Every structure is written in C-alpha cells, then in structure tokens.
C-alpha cells in the first residue's frame, strides 16, 4: 500500500454527519451553561490535565479523613 492511499480522506456525503461537529459544540456550550447555573462541576482537559472548569478560585473543599 502506498503512502498516498493511507493519507487520503473520504469525502463525507451524509448531511447529518457534516453537522456533527457543530452539534457537539452546541451541546458542550449548553452543558457548561447549565453547570454554571446549577453549581455542578464540569471537567475539561486543560494544560495536560483534567480540571473542574466550574471550581471557584481559592475555594477548596476539605476532605475529612
């Protein structure tokens, strides 16, 4: 198999599949909005680690042992 065959992309023809990226961005935006409104944590990948994007800076919950 030549390198050109393995790097070619197949054009998408399904109109629903063409809209997947936009739909995922809308869903993520709504999830962030809802988490902020309800105080629910939501996690994202930032600076090579998973962080709670809804955490209040300077406020940490203490863990009882």
List, for residues 12-37, the tens digit of each pLDDT value: 788 888 899 999 999 999 999 999 99
- Specify if 9 maps to a domain: no
Residue 29 lies in a domain: yes
- Whether 4 maps to a domain, the answer reads no
pLDDT, residue 1, reads: 47
Residue 16 CA to residue 23 CA, distance in Å, equals 10
Range of the domain at 18: 14-52
Asked if residue 57 belongs to a domain, the reply is no
Domain total of the chain: 1
Residue 44 lies in a domain: yes
Q: What is the mean pLDDT of the chain?
A: 81
| 38 lies in some domain | yes
pLDDT at 2: 47
What percent of the chain stands above pLDDT 70? 72
Q: Is residue 1 part of a domain?
A: no
CA–CA separation, 4 and 2 (whole Å): 5
Rounded Cα–Cα distance for residues 65 and 42 (Å): 25
């Amino acid at each position: 198999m030549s390198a050109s065959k393995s790097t070619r992309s197949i054009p998408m023809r399904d109109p629903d599949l063409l809209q997947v990226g936009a739909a995922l961005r809308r869903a993520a935006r709504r999830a962030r909005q809802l988490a902020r409104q309800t105080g629910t944590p939501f996690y994202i990948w930032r600076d090579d680690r998973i962080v709670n994007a809804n955490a209040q800076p300077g406020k940490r919950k203490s863990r009882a042992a």
